[in-house]
Amino acid sequence: MSTQGQKVAVITGASQGIGAGVVDAYRKLGYGVVATSRSIGESQDRGVVAVQGDIADPATAERVIAAGLERFGRIDTVVNNAGLFVAKPFTDYTEDEYATVLGVNLAGFFRVTRLAVPHMLAQGGGHIVSITTSLVDHANSNVPSVLASLTKGGLQSATKSLAIEYATRGIRANAVSPGTIKTPMHPEETHEVLAGLHPVGRMGEVSDIVDAVVYLETAPFVTGAILHVDGGMSAGH
């Protein structure tokens, strides 16, 4: 397969749910993809390089970027989808949970994005997309989630900062802020309760988030945006 001129997307948390949907979407856009997660298996698609590893580990980020350059010769987009969500009362969080969530949600974002940006600059542009949560903008007493707000809120602020820092150098940075999405993370027996958290009365579908990411990828005048795809959660209750 010729990869000359083919754009390339790095997608974290890519083995299931939103991440797997985003991989498929970028392949349909004609991108080569570097897909990474802790449990990902080898891909049968020559346009996808699978890299198994914990994104919180600095060595994983290095292997991911190296794999993209080796196979495709460039990095155009990073989709920071990998994330952990632990909902519990603030004082019940443990030191291990704190370290684990920060490792994936913040350190993973920082390392893979920092390694990708120089390659984007060298080729004249690129795009950084991060998946956050609408709980950042609209906390809910029924879902105590300080670690999600601490980490995903950091991603939203970093998104705006990156957008401004690189606005004149061709790199855009955006975020998608979902409500609760039907993924393997949420057992079916919880769906009715979770649907009730959304003003529209239903959970989101993976396709809702995938469509938002594709929109941002194909919207060259959009940068620094936090796109809420949350059934109205961020607007209120």
131-180 pLDDT per residue, tens: 999 989 888 888 888 999 999 999 999 999 999 999 999 999 999 999 98
Confidence band of 219 (pLDDT split at 50, 70, 90): very high
138-152 pLDDT per residue, tens: 888 888 889 999 999
* Res 178: pLDDT: 95
CA distances (Å), 102 to each of 96, 132, 144, in order? 10, 13, 17
Residue position matching structure tokens 């392949």:
27
Q: Is residue 3 part of a domain?
A: no
- Amino acid sitting at position 237: H
Range of the domain at 156: 8-235
Q: Is residue 111 part of a domain?
A: yes
The token pair at 32 is 């080569």
Would the pLDDT of 189 be above 90? no
In contact, 226 and 175? CB cutoff 8 Å: yes
Identify the CATH number of the domain in which residue 134 sits.
3.40.50.720
Give the mean model confidence (pLDDT) for residues 87-91: 93
Q: Is residue 12 part of a domain?
A: yes
The token pair at 215 is 């929109």
In contact, 108 and 56? CB cutoff 8 Å: yes
* Res 2: pLDDT: 40
Share in percent of the chain as helix, strand, coil (round to 5): 45, 15, 40
Please give the backbone phi and psi of residue 78, each rounded to the nearest 5 degrees, phi first.
-120, 125
Question: How many domains does one find in the chain?
Answer: 1
Q: Is residue 88 part of a domain?
A: yes
B/e letters for 58-72, b = 16+ CB within 10 Å, e = fewer, are: eebbebbbebbbebb
The DSSP 8-state label assigned to residue 16 in this structure reads S
Q: How far apart are CA 15 and CA 186, in angstroms?
A: 16
Q: Which of 44-53, 141-150, 184-193 has the lowest mean pLDDT?
A: 184-193
Give the mean model confidence (pLDDT) for residues 187-192: 84
Predicted model pTM: 0.94
Q: Is residue 46 part of a domain?
A: yes
In contact, 124 and 170? CB cutoff 8 Å: yes
Give the mean model confidence (pLDDT) for residues 87-92: 94
Q: How far apart are CA 176 and CA 212, in angstroms?
A: 7
* Res 3: pLDDT: 55
Q: pLDDT averaged over the chain?
A: 94
Give the mean model confidence (pLDDT) for residues 16-25: 96
The DSSP 8-state label assigned to residue 13 in this structure reads S
* % the chain with pLDDT above 70: 98
Give bridge partners of residue 10 from the DSSP assignment: 34, 78
